[in-house]
Structure 1
C-alpha cells in the first residue's frame, strides 16, 4: 500500500546541531518502494506508479514485505556525477523496448534513506534513529540498491563538501523525528546548493505569471534560457511591467516579447545539458 512521503521544509542556510543528522541530497526523484506478498510496486511522491520504468529495482526482492523511502539516482557514465536529466529520461520512458534499452544505457540506483514498514509492522512512529538502525541491518537485494550515508551534528562541514563537489545540497533531520506522512515538516529541512546566473528578461507569459529569460551567445545574439516563475514580489512585477511597456517588440498566442534590456540575477539548481536554467528563482534586478 502506498504511503504519501514526509516532505521537507527549506532552511535559510546550513547549520550544525547535535540533535540532527545530515545527509547528502541526492539529485533524483522520490521513490516509495512497496513489496507485498512477493510483488513490488514503485511510486513517485504523488502516488504515480512507475514500476515498469525501473525493472532493475522492481525485479529485486527482499526476504520480507517492506516499504521504503528514497531517491532514484542515475550516474552519468561519462562524468561519474549524479545526473537528474538521465533520471528523467528513465522516468519518461514508457514503451517496453525503450525501457529495456535505457536500463542497459542508464542504469539507476535506489538510494534508500528510510524504512516505513517491515515484516508487517508500521515503523513510522518510531524515532528516526531506530528506523535507521533497522535499515542498516538489511541486506540489499543487489548493487542497484544503496543506503544514504549520514553524519551527526556537522551540517556546515557536509554542506561545504557538497559545494566543493557541485552536488545538490544536504538534508537535516531531527534524530528523534517520527515519519509525518504526507506533510511538510520542520523536523526535516533541505539546504540547497544554489548556483547563480545573470540573464536578460526578453518577454512574459500572457496567462499565468512568468518572465522569459535569455542569455547572450558567442556571436552576440540572444537565445532562450527558460522561464522565471518564482521569487518575484509584487513590487518587482510592478517595476518590470512599468519599464517593459516601452520595450515590446511583438507577441504571439502565449507570450509578449520585449527588447532584452532588463537584467536579472536568478538562483538555479544547475544548467541543463541543453543550456537551460533548471528551476530558476528570481533574486534581484541588475542595474
Structure 2
C-alpha cells in the first residue's frame, strides 16, 4: 500500500536544537516500502511503482520482514571506496526497465534501502506517534538482509554534523523535531533539510522559446574555451528575467526550434547539488548576475 510521504521544508543554514535529531541526507531517491501478506511493493514519492527495478529489496532474492510493514527511506547506491551514495548510479538503477538489464545492474550496481521511518507495523498505524517513538520501534525490527540499513542520527548537534557532511562532500543533513508526528499534504517545518550546495560562475548562452530556461556554459580551466554545462530552470525571479530579456536582444546569434542562442557575454552565479560525471551542473539554481 502506498502512503504519501512527509515532505521537508528547507532551512537556509545549519542549526542546532535539542528539540531535534539530525540525520545525514542520503543522495538517492525517496522510497515507500510496503510489505502486505508477504507481497512487497515499492513506490516513489509520487506513487509510481518501481518494485521490479530492485530485486535485492523487493523480496525476490531476500527473506521478508517478520510482519506486514510500511517504511519510508531512500534507495542508495553506495560507492564502496567512499561510503557515499552516488546519485547517478541510483538513477541508472531506477531507469532500468528490461529484466536482463535489471539483473545485470543488481550485480554491478547493488542498491540499498536506507530506512529512516516506520509508518505501519504488524497491523498498527504508527503515524500519530512521536518521531522518537517510531524510531524506537524501528530499532527493534530485524532487517531482512544487508540490502537494508537504518539511517543514523544524533540529537541536537546539527551544525557539528553538517561540518562533517561538508568535509565528506555529502549532500546535506535533515533536522527533525523529536515530537513530530508523520504529516502529509504539505511541507512541514518540523522536518528541515539543509543542502550542502556547491557554487559556480557560468555564462548564459541561450534561452528556451517556450517555458523558462537559460542555457549555460562554463570555462575550461586549461584554456579560454567554454563548454555547455546545463540549463537553469530555478531561482530567477521576475526582476531577474526582465533584466535579462531587456539586454539580450543585441546578443542573439541564432536559433532553432526550441532555443535562441546568444553570445556568452552575460555571466551569473549559480548554486548546485554537485557536478555530474559528464561535467554538467546538477540541479543549478540562479543566484545573481555578475556585473
TM superposition score normalised by structure 1: 0.98
Match of 1:185 in 2: 188
- Select 2:273's aligned residue among 269, 278, 281: 269
- Select 2:71's aligned residue among 68, 72, 75: 68
Whole-Å Cα distance in 2 between the matches of residues 181 and 10 of structure 1?
16
- Select 2:264's aligned residue among 248, 260, 264: 260
Match of 2:38 in 1: 38
1:167, distance to aligned residue in structure 2 (A): 0.4
Whole-Å Cα distance in 1 between the matches of residues 56 and 179 of structure 2?
33
Whole-Å Cα distance in 1 between the matches of residues 83 and 97 of structure 2?
26
Whole-Å Cα distance in 2 between the matches of residues 41 and 27 of structure 1?
22
Matched, 1:149 2:152: yes
Matched, 1:250 2:250: no
Whole-Å Cα distance in 2 between the matches of residues 110 and 93 of structure 1?
17
Say what the alpha-carbon RMSD is for the aligned residues: 1.0
Does the residue aligned with 2:193 lie in a helix, a strand or coil?
A: strand
Whole-Å Cα distance in 2 between the matches of residues 164 and 282 of structure 1?
24
Does the residue aligned with 2:101 lie in a helix, a strand or coil?
A: helix
Whole-Å Cα distance in 2 between the matches of residues 44 and 80 of structure 1?
24
Does the residue aligned with 1:158 lie in a helix, a strand or coil?
A: helix
1:216, distance to aligned residue in structure 2 (A): 2.2
Q: How many residue pairs align between the two structures?
A: 287
Q: Any unmatched runs of 5+ in structure 2? A: none
Please tell me whether the aligned partners of residues 76 and 86 of structure 1 are also in contact (alpha carbons under 8 angstroms). no
Match of 1:103 in 2: 106
Match of 1:238 in 2: 242
Whole-Å Cα distance in 2 between the matches of residues 278 and 87 of structure 1?
14
Does the residue aligned with 2:248 lie in a helix, a strand or coil?
A: helix
Whole-Å Cα distance in 1 between the matches of residues 201 and 119 of structure 2?
43
Whole-Å Cα distance in 1 between the matches of residues 117 and 83 of structure 2?
25
- Select 1:122's aligned residue among 121, 125, 136: 125
Change (3 A) 1:86 1:234: same
TM superposition score normalised by structure 2: 0.97
1:77, distance to aligned residue in structure 2 (A): 4.6
Does the residue aligned with 1:180 lie in a helix, a strand or coil?
A: coil
Q: Any unmatched runs of 5+ in structure 1? A: none
Whole-Å Cα distance in 2 between the matches of residues 257 and 77 of structure 1?
42
